[in-house]
Structure 1
């Protein structure tokens, strides 16, 4: 019988699910809302393909970045809308213009976060902005396979562990391009849903803004309008409080194999924190960090370079300000408290018990601001 990676190591990349010829593996959610593979031993023929393809059980091919670039979209309106320089949206747009197909993370009603297939510029708008939650990708493998079989160029944008899964499934396919996001860790969509009041969840939510350049960084969109009753600074949001304090991450994030200087995707993108001695003067409008790791990554960057202001930077500058480019995020001393309480008390109460000082400070700050 095949042996998959352990519960603590499994990233939920779903490669095992995708490669099983007997459809003997399903992806099922644990009590915390994270997807894990489950083998139906009545269907399993013990071909061990799932074990052979698991990226956690086999050594990956990593490369030191060839170029480190600070850049931003010259179109100031688009730059501000994208919140971190705009490289992701711009790259996706140019890839589509060159008859490519994009797979990226999007909010899908009624309330889920998953990867979708994009073939138009309009679709790409759904991918825009940061997503501080794990996206489901297991249903996209079949679509990617169909696209690659018809010789279409495919760009997959996701977390490093998702990239590892995609590469394990499709090997070194010449039409597959990969872009990884600098990732601190991923909570589950279940945590996000439980952090939002039930009366708000009943509304027709179309989009979530996790970050913006206004004072309200976290907001929900209903029929193209921001819900006035649910917009707040990140520091005053219960979900983001759990994220920033590192107590809601998937267990595998705490020992992430992909949080390292060497990279696994063609290109790595994120916020360029810690930028020093630069000609860029309006850093607060967002600056993208781009690591070009392969020739394919260089090809991707060249697609959109004419629309970017860019300058090369030393890798050390990026490393010093981005912990996930060096090692996994350190485990919070309150992580186990939250995990122990959650099955009994749910998200909100478990968060209160795990972070009483921080939640109290958040509520006092909110009260003082609104009762002057």
Structure 2
């Protein structure tokens, strides 16, 4: 029977919930806004399936990465709509053109991030673009298995832990399953996200209708949070000014399991790993025009198939993965739990506004002065 005694031991993938043969497990949301499985001891038949499928409890059997590429779509319009180089969109199109199904994260009408499946190109916009909130999986794993058993080609995209949860739930290899994981910094609290949106709607006196976590109006490197409201008003702020993005990138609001994530490795069980190719301008400037460059790590033969399927629609060059993804990159390194993390969540639960919560991660005045002086001296060199 699943029993979470230390929250660091649960990534919230819901493999246990989907796998339970007697529906004895439900997901409960804690005071931080994260969901954890709880088993009903009266229903539980002690079959052990929940422990067997849990990616946090089972040893890694990771693929060896075959090669890495810096890449982006030739289609400028598609790239503009994407967070990075539009590789996910092209892979999804490849699957859909073969009558397949694509599963990924979408924002619903209540601004919750949920996994859904799509079967037509006109729905692809729902899955496109980064969503910096942990997605609700619901019965997605069950739906994926049903499509696979019916012989359909399936592309499942998510974080590395969600991929591991799916593979554990399925329990066997399906030739018609393709998986893509996105390089992940960590997942912030859904409770914080809903507080942020509520405050934005209150300040703008209108309902949020269209949200982009990675708007590239000012370029890929200086991306912005952009929200369009029903009234026609638009909020847009660079990531280093936006309160939600500051708290997220400051690591103070992440799920406990994210600080020492066991899936942050170059050797992953997904077929393809994609993410931003940050720093590409420093060692392969010809692949950077500030419109978004992706890194693609091919982890399996099926990953090769995916890449071959989109090759004629992308610009790409092989890269040294140790330069593109050094060990100290956010998507590989272990994160330090912020000293004031508990204080942050106390503020969140007390109803504090975003401005007050951001002060938790703000450097003291003397530190900011020192940094400013150092910048001035560097300019004067």
Q: What is the CA-CA distance between 1:341 and the residue it aligns to?
A: 3.7
What is the TM-score of this pair, normalised by structure 2?
0.87
Q: Which residue of 2 aligns with 1:367?
A: none
> Partners in 1 of 2:141 and 2:202 — Cα distance?
35
Bigger Cα displacement from structure 2, 65-74 vs 169-178: 169-178
Gaps of 5+ in 1: 362-372
2: CA distance between counterparts of 1:217 and 1:226?
18
Equivalent residue number for residue 174 of structure 1: 175
Q: Deviations over 1:221-275 (max 9, x none)?
A: 346x9632x2222222111110111101001001101012222211100001122
Aligned residues of 1:103 and 1:156 also touching (Cα < 8 A) = yes
Give the deviation of 1:280 after TM superposition.
2.3
- Quote the residue 1:26 is aligned against: 26
2:211 to 208, 211, 232: 208
Q: Distance in 2 between matches of 1:117 and 1:186?
A: 21
Deviation for aligned residue 1:201 = 8.8
- Relative distance call for 1:277 and 1:199 in structure 2 (3 A) is closer
Superposed counterparts of 1:43-192, under 5 Å: 43-171=43-171, 172-192=173-193
2:220 is the counterpart of 1:217: no
Q: TM (normalized to structure 1)?
A: 0.89
2:32 is paired with a residue whose SS is: coil
SS of corresponding position for 1:98: coil
Alignment length (residue pairs): 358
Instruction: Confirm or deny: 8 A CA contact 1:184 1:324 kept in the other structure.
Output: yes
> Structure 1 residues 106 and 2 mapped into 2: Cα distance closer, same or farther (>3 Å)?
closer
**Alignment deviations for residues 132-153 of structure 1 (CA, whole Å, 9 cap, x no partner):** 1111113212211221110111
Asked if the contact 1:13–1:138 (Cα under 8 Å) also holds between the matched residues in 2, the reply is no
**Residues 247 and 8 of structure 1: CA distance in aligned 2, closer, same or farther (over 3 Å):** same
Please state whether the residue corresponding to 1:236 is helix, strand or coil.
Answer: coil
Distance 1:118 1:204, change over 3 A: farther
Match of 1:364 in 2: none
Structure 2 distance, partners of 1:76, 1:168, is 38
Q: How many angstroms apart in 1 are the aligned matches of 2:324 and 2:287?
A: 18
Hey, what's the Cα distance between the residues in 2 that align with 1:317 and 1:131? Answer: 26
In the alignment, structure 1 residue 272 sits paired with structure 2 residue 277: yes
Q: Take 1:28 and 1:104, find their aligned partners in 2: how far apart are those partners?
A: 22
Task: Give the Cα–Cα distance (whole angstroms) in 2 for the partners of residues 62 and 262 of structure 1.
Answer: 5
Q: Distance between the aligned counterparts of 1:60 and 1:5, measured in 2?
A: 22
1:291 maps to which residue?
Answer: 297
CA displacement at 1:322 relative to structure 2: 6.3
Q: Find the aligned partners of 2:249 and 2:262 in 1 and give their Cα distance.
A: 21
* Distance change (3 Å), C-alpha of 1:139 and 1:346: farther
Residue aligning to 1:193: 194
